[in-house]
Amino acid sequence: MGYPDNVLARDEQVVLHRHPHWKRLIGPSLMLILASVAAAFVSGYANTLDWEGPATNVVFGVTAAIWLILVGWLTLWPFLNWLTTHFVITDRRVMFRHGLLTRSGIDIPLARINSVEFRHGLLDRILRTGTLIIESAAQDPLEFHDIPRVERVHSLLYHEVFDTLGTEESPS
């Protein structure tokens, strides 16, 4: 899925578009499995009891309501946050947008970027992810966590910055 064209300037081209690394979805996926197993266990146990129909139905309803709340809060919400988080490099700027109900973001013009760094530990190296650190002319360094293939993104961003500076410094 490409980044929406309505946020791009005329003639601006997307060079790279990434969501955070899928490792952010491991916890929510485990919570989905655990909540489902717990709900199935409680429902199965309630089904073995010699309660009258309405009491069993109340237990099933309460179990389903708790399951829906847990799955919505601990699984669906993190997935939608992951889905609505965008790290985009264009031929003019770096954009970061995140948030589901309240959106926020930052744009960094390529010409203002002073340095680009990356950092990743052993687990991040195994999963091919890491933190990208961008230092611009007017701000403290910005850290973007869980960027997939961070070394490739670092190299690509460095080349885009170099190309931008090269075109601005060369006489037209």
Look at domain 88-169 and name its CATH class: mainly beta
Task: Output the pLDDT for position 171.
Answer: 42
pLDDT at position 32 over 70: yes
Decide: 7 and 136 in contact? Cβ < 8 Å.
Answer: no
Give the least confident one: 35-39, 139-143, 153-157.
Answer: 139-143
pLDDT at position 98 over 50: yes
Decide: 150 and 118 in contact? Cβ < 8 Å.
Answer: yes
How far apart, in whole angstroms, are the C-alpha atoms of residue 104 and residue 40? 39
Decide: 116 and 157 in contact? Cβ < 8 Å.
Answer: yes
Domain-wise residue ranges, the chain: 26-81, 88-169
Average pLDDT over residues 118-144: 92
Confidence band for 2, pLDDT divided at 50, 70 and 90: low
How far apart, in whole angstroms, are the C-alpha atoms of residue 169 and residue 172? 9
Pairwise pLDDT comparison (55 vs 32), residue with the higher score = 32
Q: Residue with structure tokens 């717990």?
A: 38
Average pLDDT over residues 6-35: 93
